[in-house]
Structure 1
Amino acid sequence: MWGVPSSSALTRPTLTSVWKDHILRAHSLVNRQYAYYIQPELLFRHSFSPEPSATVLSLIQTNEKRIATMKINKSKLKNMVEKGVPAAPINVKRKRTDDGQSSVPPEPSGPPSKRVPTVQASPSLPSFRFRMRRLLSSSRRCLSVEDDLVRLKQRLAKSEASEESLKQAVFELNIERKDLIAVVEAVKVDLIAKEGDAKAAVEACDEAQKELKHLMGQVEGVRTAAVSDYKALEAFEDNNLQCFISGFEAFRKQAKEKYPNIDFTEFQPYDDTDSVNDGGEKANDVDQADDATT
């Protein structure tokens, strides 16, 4: 872990001039203005590795170009001030506030590779390590924040996609709802029409039943009148007598066949049309009317 010396570091000899040169160069780069454009991990790698990588070299070239541009802008601003052209003050240099002032003198504006480091009164190694740890921790926080931002963007994209799908589903459901409402309205209209037809059919059925009852009453009256007229005729009496005589003859034949020893010739029907019961009383006209109707 960074900041915790290993067991071998406790017995390590003192730094050589080469490593002191690396440390002073790293400390000088930290205090420079263009150190804001260098990533701390790359700065650490360049300061303590034997050869800088291609990424570090490209960053150094980019910083050199930015320094040249700043110098050109500064000269232009100086010329404008000398000519009397009013211009807004531009802060060309930005000072970095540290716990203590740096003991390394300002270097000339030349390429970094041509500078010769000088060993002067520099801060102690623990303070330098503390600064490097702070830079590394800030870089890690930045990287973690960037990762969180990427994850949030992915979640946002997923939520937007789900929202679009939900909107599409809601749109389709609205279309289906409109179609169902139209079908329900059509069914309502059809039911209203069929209800009117049913009411008309019920009324027609009631009228037919009333007319049928009236016709049945008329038929019953006609039948009663016809029966009463038929009973009043003489043919009704003759027909009734013939039916009685034929029934009596049939009865006498059946009795003779069943009882051959008995002579049934003595039994003769009465001459009058009125039937007499065992008590010698005549039957009512109502019984005759019932026999005629049956």
Structure 2
Amino acid sequence: MSLQKAKAFVIVLAALLLSGCGQALSEREIVRAVFFVQQQGSYSACLLLADQNAGEDGTHYKTASALGVTPAQALHRAEMALPGQLYYGLLELAALPPGCDWATAQELGELLYDKAQPAPELSVFVLDSADHSWAQDAAALYEDMKAVEREYALHCGLQQLFTQADGCAVPGYRADSGYNFYLMPRNADMLFLAGMPAQLAAVLCGQTNRFCTSYADGTALCEAEAGVTVEGSDVQLHLRDAKWETLSAAANEPQVLLCAELQQGFSLLTAKQTTDFFHFHFFYENLYGPAAAPPAPTLEILFE
């Protein structure tokens, strides 16, 4: 075989591998997002797909949805409703059911992992509790969740559902502004968080380095770069380049008010939590040994 023919053969072979054994990407059903809700003992699964036949001014997404007794059955039925072969390699987002608990998060995480192994950047949210029409709302939900990720520098990857055997932490979608947060212990009730505690939890979990929240009953706003260090049982929250906005004379000491609410939020997050969502026990045991019983953590707020 000549050198030119060998090069041509390699190029053709690579093209076949990249396109899925001879099937062009344009001929497949490209999944961009998967949504789950639980409905009266059954599950609804929706696939948001790239609509490759839409014109320049047309809708660029289409949906396929189905009901099932289990999430896997609902997802399989949605897949079977599509004529082409599904491609999950460009999957970007998955939404878990509202009110999701640890067991459901693990079940759905394993199901999605089997589907989405070529998509390491997959993001996970918990869906809000509003009634949604998949055909009308799925594309907007997908765009909104991606916008929340960008605006708040927020990311919870699929692998983060499995980093702790006794719990997981996932941001929750909200339609107005900001985001909610869910702490899901394995053997206890889920803790739902909104507002400042939600953002504090995301920072402590390492899912964002941006803090942008209203407080003092909505009369003050703080935006800062956030980071966390831990020394023994002392948790240090670093807020850098903070920007302040006050909307009322009652918020004339915004930094003092912020610190007070952060301490309240920290107390809420750490009260009676046997699950080490924020790895505080890990840091403490690294310093004092695995047999050391960590005391209750304290929060120190540092403005830099």
**Bucket of the pairwise TM-score, normalised by the shorter protein:** under 0.3
Greater share of residues in helix: 1
TM-score (norm 1): 0.17
For the pair shown, the structure with the greater C-alpha radius of gyration is 1
Normalized per residue, the structure richer in strand is: 2
Q: Which structure is higher in RCO with an 8 Å CA cutoff and minimum separation 6?
A: 1
